[in-house]
Chains A and B, each alone.
Chain A
Amino acid sequence: MSKHYKLPLLLMIVTFAASVIFQTPAVAAESKEAAAKSLIESLGNQAVRILSDKSLSETQKEQQFDQFLDADFDMPRIARFVLGRYWRGATEAEQKKFQTVFRNYMVSSYSQKIGSYSGENIKINDAKSLNDKESLVYTLIERPQGPPIKLDWRVRQTSDGKSKIVDVIVEGVSMALTQRSEFASVAANKGGVAGLITELESKAKTASN
């Protein structure tokens, strides 16, 4: 008698398990774009909050940006991408040094850039999937004077489910690609990765002055 029960029960369990397994990727994919969108939204809110806080000094603002930089941007990956073909030829010490120097350079240059905020606000439009790990969030920066600026954010989900920004595309121009091209030129002309690191260090120092 038990034999007759086992088969349908087994079938039920298998079907149930299958439906759960096959449902999860779709659910996960949907929430990947939603996660990307909410990341950009919280980034926008954080930025506006810091920038419109009149009680903060410039250095305090820079420190605040520094904190959410690691949380919102995948800095190690960006650094590796931006170094391009020179990554493989560099020693591990050089790679680590580059990641640190690059990060400081980004903090000092971008906190200045965002510091010239004057009434712009960010409008989040849409999020599309690029592949099963990355999505593109389309936003517009609306300015009081002049046409809005298109800003696309490339967001990548890590294996532990966190979303981080890996590239910002301004009016169709990828910042990561631009920097990779620029750094390749510097490395070619100024003595490889070591020369590039020196240039970035001195730029980070002067930019923060």
Chain B
Amino acid sequence: MRLRFNSSSLVSGVAAVMLLAVVSGCAKSPTDDDKPKQVMYQEVYDPLEPMNRYFFDVNYALDALFLKPVAEIYRGTLPYPVRDSVRNFLTNLSQPVYFINNVLQGEFNRAGDNMGAFFINTLWGVGGLFDAAQLNTHEEDMGQTFAVWGAPEGPYLVIPVLGPNTTREAIGGVGDYFIDPVNIVSDNNDWDYVPVTLWVVNGIDARSRAIESLDEIEKNSIDFYATIRSLYRQNRANLILNGKGNPAQLPDMSFDDDDAPTTKKN
């Protein structure tokens, strides 16, 4: 299998993301006399906040104009079993890249599940339309792999169209694009529109599943940008830990000394 992606497109993809990260070095942090702001700054690490907020608004407008209406039509016209099959099909096509990432993370049991699910669902699930395997596999991307390898997160980024990210996740996204066997096969067969079509359909389906919840979050939030940022971060942490988060790492909620718990059990 010949990799037709030449090295220059990979380099330019990574370079674009690195440029964003370098720009963050020029970002200013709050001055010392603003202590709470400084502490919060360290906690959220969003040095590019003004630029991120701008792109957040751009994405919000694009969503309102294009993605959300299309997602609503998609949900309104297609019955639930059909949309379920679409999701199954897309998940199935992602199993190879999940497999690669699980192997890279040393998660061989999970990788086995990915491979098993892919074959069972393709053969018995009518090309992936039905989840015959019911193995409950989880999405794994290169950003998570980098995290498992110990790479730091980098600044929070809101990328036009792609939405919330961090430097590590963004580079991971570029990596996934190049190692995804589906993309490689499409490229070798000159199926130019396959990766884009899959990406668009995935976006519409995912958006259709989050219409009410995002509306609710927005309605109740006093800073939608900050809410999404926090949700994104916590969700990433969850994905990286594969749900095995240690509950004892939940923040301390004791305020008076005589009120604090004395033992920490696991």
Contacts and interface: CB of A to CB of B under 8 A. Distances in A.
A182 B222 contact: yes
Interface string A168-209: 000111101110011111111100000010011001000100
Contacts of A132: 261-263, 265
A104 interface: no
B250 A85 contact: no
A61 interface: no
B255 A89 contact: no
B246 to A, nearest CB: 10
A109 interface: yes
Given A133-B261, A178-B234, A85 B40 contact: yes
B226 interface: yes
B78 to A, nearest CB: 13
B221 to A, nearest CB: 6
A181 B229 contact: yes
> How many of chain A's residues touch chain B, expressed as a range?
35 or more
B227 interface: yes
Nearest to B241: A172
B216 interface: yes
Interface of A: 77, 80-81, 84-86, 89, 109, 112-113, 116, 128-134, 136, 145-146, 152, 154, 156, 159, 166-167, 171-174, 176-178, 181-189, 196, 199-200, 203, 207
Interface of B: 35-37, 39-40, 43-44, 80, 209, 212, 216, 219-223, 225-227, 229-231, 234-235, 237-238, 243, 245, 247-248, 250-251, 253-255, 259, 261-265
Given A85-B40, A136-B247, 12 more contacts: A109-B219, A128-B247, A130-B265, A132-B262, A134-B261, A154-B250, A167-B253, A171-B235, A182-B223, A183-B222, A188-B40, A203-B222
